[in-house]
Structure 1
């Protein structure tokens, strides 16, 4: 409701008989967790223009937005897009180049008849010693686990496809819920692998570097 500027006036209903609710923009830097989510969204360039405009219009927690109130904030968003986008693209390309080199080396060894026996979990560098770590490591290294995570990735892409310009409330709610759910799911994937592998072995995988 553009007729309400101060938080104390945000009471009752608007002209459409909808209850007035005072809330901040979903992408903000109010605390560390929101800031991490905001930087992740900026890195993926997901609707970043509207988030930037919301930042430039922001005033304070007790007052409503004013158009172009802080135009300098736009420079911050643009810098984040450039830096984060550059890093993401380079990491993405690096993972594929690393995977290609590994596959090429494997093909050369196989063609030369130098097949190496597959190492067991305990024989790998920094292999899991405890029972809990071995159990977690055995799960996260299976093909079923990879397919399960791949299903999450595909589902996340599909839900992102529902976003549109001037989207309905259910689309905004779907985006908020899906972003929170998949961020939590991928975060747990990272945590399980770090627990099972330990950082030294975890970061030897190209895809693990990309995920992190």
Structure 2
């Protein structure tokens, strides 16, 4: 089951790579590079940290999935305007799936739970960060207007750890944790939810006086 979830995660992140290229005057080759980078970047960094074979090197089918999705989405995005916020939604799906995949794989390697949470977040956000850097954008995870990004990933990873203590090795643990990450991101996109900013009363008063 995890194998198929990983392919869905790769497809979602590859889609986000294609959509991020829209309007950037990037040719098909560049779009494919962005899509593959977004799709495998987080997992690559995770596996390098764990010092295990990189997942797409061990199984090139992941790259083929990213490549196929990139070509298909390139054609679709050129032909029609996609409704809503397709980039944010595709990125949210990839974030949710890859976060939990990262936690599971790290735990399977015998790493501590705190490390598993950290690598789960890295797996979820790193591909998108590389994608944004390549198109000279501030990565989504660092933008104040992109709400509950790494926070959603962290909470989902933490929930998975808790559920594994209460219900060890139950399939619904993965589903619930992924649903939390995805639900938080989509809710944050819809209602602009965010954590409170660190701002003192003096700083706020100074800002108002300047206005």
Same fold per TM (> 0.5)? Answer: no
Q: TM-score, normalised by structure 2?
A: 0.27
TM-score (norm 1): 0.27
Higher Rg of the two aligned structures: 1
Higher relative contact order (CA 8 A, sep 6+): 2
